[in-house]
Structure 1
Amino acid sequence: MKRSWLSILPLLLLAACNKSSPPAKTPEDPKTIAVTRWTERTELFMEYPPLVAGQNARFAVHLTDLRNFKPLSEGRVTVELRSGGGRSETFQTDAPSRPGIFGVTVKPGSAGAFSMTVRLDSPALRDTHELGEVQVYANAQAAAKGEQPEQREVIKFLKEQQWTLDFATVTVAERSLRESRRVSAEVRPRTGGEAEIIAPVAGRLATSSAIPTVGTLVQKGQVLAKILPRTATPSDRATLELAVQEATTALRLAQRDRERAERLATAGAVPGKRLDEAKAAEATAQARLNAAQARLTQHESSRSAEGDAPGDSHFLLRAPIAGIMASTHGTSGASVEVGENLFRVVATDPVFIVASIPEAEAWWLHQLAGGELELSGHPKPVPLGRVVSVGRVVDAESRTLPVIFEVRNQDARLAVGQAVFIRLFTSTATKAPAVPESALVDDAGRPVVFVQVAGESFARRAVRLGSREAGYVLILEGVKPGERVVTRGAYQIRLAALSSQIPAHGHVH
């Protein structure tokens, strides 16, 4: 048995010697360098490999127009390397490979430290980005040992995603905002801006005029309706007919008397005064007949509820102010009573904004220095007009004090009776970094903003909020001046942060 093991041992040693050794590890490729710069006009996001003298390096230059945050679709991009001795090398491309992405091949002639500049020349705009000092290595081994980009946890959101969405960023800057309080309010008609039109007489609304519908704009003095008054004896038709007959007979007699007086006056038998008296009596008889006939016609119209009486017998109802027809209780042909409320007209420009201040907070009203109105669908609050009054009597039911502002409403964006919120400012101001309110995102009940740390990298920052004014909010903790926060598209970045999938990189380099 021992001899058997001795015979096998050389074979095992030979097999171990012949076994191939594992391949040597090759050094990892140097990681891509990413640079982001902003000017007043454009955002530059550029990716390129470490530069090696005599070797081609493909630059992916992403350029965004900061006027609309869309990609630049045309233009020439030039990358310039300048040495300390004044020698310069330029590399350029005359058009983007895709909208917003310009591919530039850079081949440095020598190693060393260079200053890099990226220039854009397009029909839309021209811009220059100074990138500072970059290192060109002598060979690939030196480049692999060079300084590697710092790695940090960020949210990736590609340029291709930003360009296709409603996306925008803004630089954080310090602002001085006044302290404020947000309170509920209501839109009400101004003093003298509401009128109720009542029936001055009992009768029937004429069918010859169209009654304005609710919501119609009416002008001051415009006829809203006509009322056909009831007769003094609405049920005694025989009496009215008798009055017509008597007036007709009296007119005939007056006409004959006038004709006789004319003949006598022509013959010189009577003075001219006699003829004048006869003519006056005839005119009076004619007027009495006309009045009797009108009363009979009015009676017939009221009795049958059809047609209209002569126009001069109507009572006209006119709008005392210009505004909107808020309500109408009249119908053509319907009967109305004296004092009945028929129409309500409300003036909509200007209007009053009446805020309700809890009595416990009434102490700061002596510091009131203005306010602004929050309107849904409007990107920025609307400044309130003059302060009409500050209440000094507490409402017994609501336990609040009224504060009334006057606001112009030419575009009719405010509806009378609408419930709104306003922000009242005091005279005390605080200076701190501020961002547009649109940059705030509610993340599980906590306000956060998304800071753009690089072209395609974002960081979530929880913030502590301060005063608000004119669409801006002070950030007491979380961001610093000079950082860029997302003002449009922040919610999509939040969704990207929640996604576990890493977005595929779609650049054409």
Structure 2
Amino acid sequence: MNDKIFRKLRNFCFRAFLAGVAASLSFGVAGCHGKHEHEHEGEESHQGHSHNETLQLTAYNSEFELFAEAQPFVAGQESEILAHFTKLSDFKPLEKGKVSMKLTIGGKSVSVVCDKPAHPGIYEFKVRPEKRGEGNLSFEIEGAGGKSVVTVPGITVYDDEHEAHHEAAEAAAKSSNGIVFPKEQSWNVEFSTEKVASEPFGEVIRTMARVEPSQGDERVLVAKSAGTVRFAAADLTAGKAVGSGQALFTIDSEGLADNNMSVRYQEAKSAYETAKSEYERKEELAREKLVTESDFRKAKNEYETAAANYGNLKRNFASGRHSEGSPMSGFIKKVYVRNGEYVEAGSPVMEVAQNRRLYITAELQPSKYHALRDIVSTNFKTASGSEVYSVADLNGSLVSYGRSVDEDNPLVPVVFQIDNTVDLLPGSFVEMYITAGRGERSLTVPNSSLVEEMGNYFVFVQLTPEFFEKREVKPGKSNGLRTEILSGLKENERIVGKGAVLVKLAQASGKLDAHAGHVH
């Protein structure tokens, strides 16, 4: 086992206060070998004082974060490099793929190829620069998605070992309020970093809103005639899932003295047969010009009316009862009557809903009316407060807002419509953030990056991908997803986006040496 990797991972184990990492981090190291463009005549032994400073190198491209810990580069001496590769898509380690490292100094290069990681995300290289000078260190990653190159500029190779280690010590990240959070730890939790950027940030209107069913997503089923309600199944209660066309209930008028559907059906059948016979008789007479045109049209109208009435009763009430099925797939929202209860025609029996589309309705003070003309974005937080959603991400949009108020309700209604892909409950309330106008450009951070302590707010600024500085900031307004920062940060500084609470826990576990667990 490579002793330097072992020390790094052993020290990490002692402070892995978050469960979920492997109990044993023992692994075999595959050696990676390189080729120099020029052969060496001999090797120099290390002279002078013992040094243990480590270069901490960080670079990014559009796909990867590179964090490398390297022994300072001295001409003619071998330096070991532990390169940590993190995928920016999910901030998880690069688990497989070939990586080619190239150290270029003064136009001459030394290359090393590593076919696989020594441990997920960690590649080990050994390189011996030939002469002093300035240059860069590049890593070419080959994987299923193709090739990707990450380059670290500003690499210096020294003649003097003491100078190299002195400069490495001077360049090391330092902070009196720093927290170590190793890559092996961040890879095992939900974690990410991002650059602080400025963006237009308008007025934010914060209010409570009610979730309501969308029109067309609910249907009330009514009794088409008077009679006794008979449910199709005993478990037809609120919340029961139903399919389109599924039988729900029947209305039985058998045995009723009034509005008996069996009697009405027989009457309609008799009237239909009589009207049909009279129409056919007068049709024959009309051909021979033995009846007037008006008498023939009257017989025809009476026949058509009787046929329509009889057809309707035949389809729905042939047996003295009519059945009702669900008009759509969904669930039973409400049952208005009991099984076996008598109802009049037109009485509501059941309500079926889908909840595929929902309205979110807020009511605002009239002073906010003019801001509603320029709504930029809308977010909302559920009652539990655990999730914040963007209306745009839920295929939502502004439906309307009120153009007038009245004495009974002097508030302006604002209605949004969304796809209910997050299982919101109609009738519940959400906290809504309506951003209106572009406003001035401001520095913003995700809400998840802020931690609060006794009324003060902090973020964790990245000094290296394993070392973060806790810094107090002054927050401004928030749109539910991002918060304006009035002071404490600079544009392009990189901060912890997800996982800030875990970094805070790392701080609470005890003050750690900024270099603990690093390769020296």
Cα offset, 1:104, TM superposition: 1.5
For residues 221 and 142 of structure 1, the distance between their equivalents in structure 2, rounded to whole angstroms, comes to 84
TM-score by length of 1: 0.68
CA distance in 1, matches of 2:113, 2:216: 71
* In 2: Cα distance, 1:170 partner to 1:130 partner: 19
CA separation of 1:160 and 1:191: change in aligned 2, threshold 3 A: closer
**Correspondence 1:163 to 2:187:** yes
TM-superposed CA distance for 1:41, in Å, is 1.6
- In structure 2, C-alpha distance between the alignment counterparts of 1:315 and 1:147, rounded to whole Å: 88
Q: Give the CA deviation at 1:180.
A: 1.7
Secondary structure of the 1:54 match is: coil
Residue deviations 1:219-254, cap 9 Å, x none? 7887642222374559xxxxx9xxxxxxxxxxxxxx
Task: State the AA in 2 paired with 1:228.
Answer: D
Matches of 2:243 and 2:159, distance apart in 1:
85
| 1:325 partnered with 2:323 | no
Q: Does the 8 A contact of 1:374 with 1:382 survive in 2?
A: yes
Show CA shifts across 1:94-119 (max 9, x none).
Answer: 43222222222222223x22312222
- Structure 1 segment 287-298 matched on structure 2, within 5 A: none
1:420 maps to amino acid: V
Q: What does the per-residue CA deviation read over 1:345-399, in whole Å, with 9 as the maximum and x for residues that have no partner?
A: 446344332202245x445455452652424465641234233231522564xx6
Aligned to 1:422: 432
Task: After superposing the two structures, state which structure 1 stretch, 373-382 or 160-169, moved more.
Answer: 373-382
Q: 1:447 aligns to what?
A: 457
Name the counterpart of 1:61. 83
Contact 1:52 1:136 in 2 (8 A): yes
**Alignment match, 1:388:** 400
96-105 or 472-481: bigger deviation: 472-481
The CA RMSD measured in Å over matched residues stands at 3.7
Residue matched to 1:148: 169
- 1:172-221 Cα offsets, whole Å, 9 max, x none, are 22222332211101022345765555556654223667784322456788
Structure 2 counterparts to residues 97-116 of structure 1, below 5 A? 97-110=118-131, 112-116=132-136
Distance 1:199 1:129, change over 3 A: closer
- Aligned-partner Cα distance in 2 for 1:97–1:412: 41
Distance in 1 of aligned mates of 2:116 and 2:346 = 80
From the CA coordinates, give the structure whose radius of gyration is larger: 1
Q: CA deviation at 1:79?
A: 4.0
Q: Which amino acid aligns with 2:462?
A: Q
- Map of 1:366-381 to 2, 5 A cutoff? 367-369=373-375, 371-376=377-382, 378=387, 380-381=389-390
Question: Contact conserved, 1:202 with 1:336, CA < 8 A, in 2?
Answer: yes
Q: Which residue of 1 aligns with 2:501?
A: 491
Question: Which secondary structure state, in structure 2, belongs to the residue aligned with residue 494 of structure 1?
Answer: helix
Partner Cα separation in structure 1 for residue 168 and residue 324 of structure 2: 88
Decide whether aligned partners of structure 1 residues 218 and 97 sit closer, same or farther in structure 2, where only a CA change above 3 A counts. closer
Q: For 1:219 and 1:395, locate their aligned partners in 2 and report how far apart those are by CA, in whole Å.
A: 44
- Kept in 2: contact 1:36–1:43 (CA 8 A): yes
Alignment counterpart, residue 40 of structure 1, candidates 62, 66, 82: 62
What amino acid does structure 2 have at the position aligned with 1:116? N
Residue of 146, 156, 180 corresponding to 1:135: 156
Q: 2:441 aligns with which of 411, 431, 434?
A: 431
Where 2:129 maps in the other structure, the secondary structure is coil
Structure 1 window deviating more from structure 2 (168-177 vs 196-205): it is 196-205
**Residue of structure 2 in register with 1:257 after alignment:** none
Letter of the 2:250 counterpart: K
Unaligned runs of 5+ in 1: 1-25, 235-239, 241-309
CA separation of 1:331/1:55 partners in 2, compared to 1, >3 Å: closer, same or farther?
same
User: Contact 1:199 / 1:339 at 8 angstroms: preserved in 2?
Assistant: yes
Distance in 2 between residues matched to 1:211 and 1:199, nearest whole Å = 20
Amino acid of the structure 1 residue aligned with 2:137: T
Alignment match of 2:238 (pick from 211, 214, 221): 214
Q: Which residue of 2 aligns with 1:472?
A: 482
Task: Give the C-alpha shift of residue 419 in structure 1.
Answer: 0.7
Which of the numbers 463, 469, 473 marks the counterpart of 1:463? Answer: 473
Q: 1:317 to 1:365 in 2, by over 3 A?
A: farther
1:86-125 alignment to 2 at 5 Å? 86-110=107-131, 112-124=132-144, 125=146
The alpha-carbon distance between structure 1 residues 470 and 453, as it changes in their structure 2 partners (threshold 3 A), is same
| Post-superposition CA distance 1:46-73 (Å, at most 9, x none) | 1222223322222222222222222223
Q: Contact 2:201–2:441 at 8 Å: present in 1 too?
A: yes
Distance 1:232 1:138 in 2: 110
Judge conservation of contact 2:369–2:412 (CA < 8 Å) in 1.
no
Does the aligned pair in 2 maintain the 1:441–1:490 contact within 8 Å?
yes
Q: Contact 2:380 / 2:388 at 8 angstroms: preserved in 1?
A: no
Q: What is aligned with 2:301?
A: none
CA distance in structure 2 between the aligned counterparts of 1:315 and 1:130, rounded to whole angstroms: 77
**Structure 1 position 444, deviation (Å):** 3.4
Q: 1:166 to 1:160 in 2, by over 3 A?
A: same
- For residues 429 and 249 of structure 2, the distance between their equivalents in structure 1, rounded to whole angstroms, comes to 32
How many residue pairs match? The answer is 406
> Could you tell me how far apart the structure 2 residues matched to 1:101 and 1:347 are?
50
- Asked whether the 8 Å contact 1:204–1:227 carries over to 2, the reply is yes
Q: Secondary structure at the match of 1:51?
A: coil
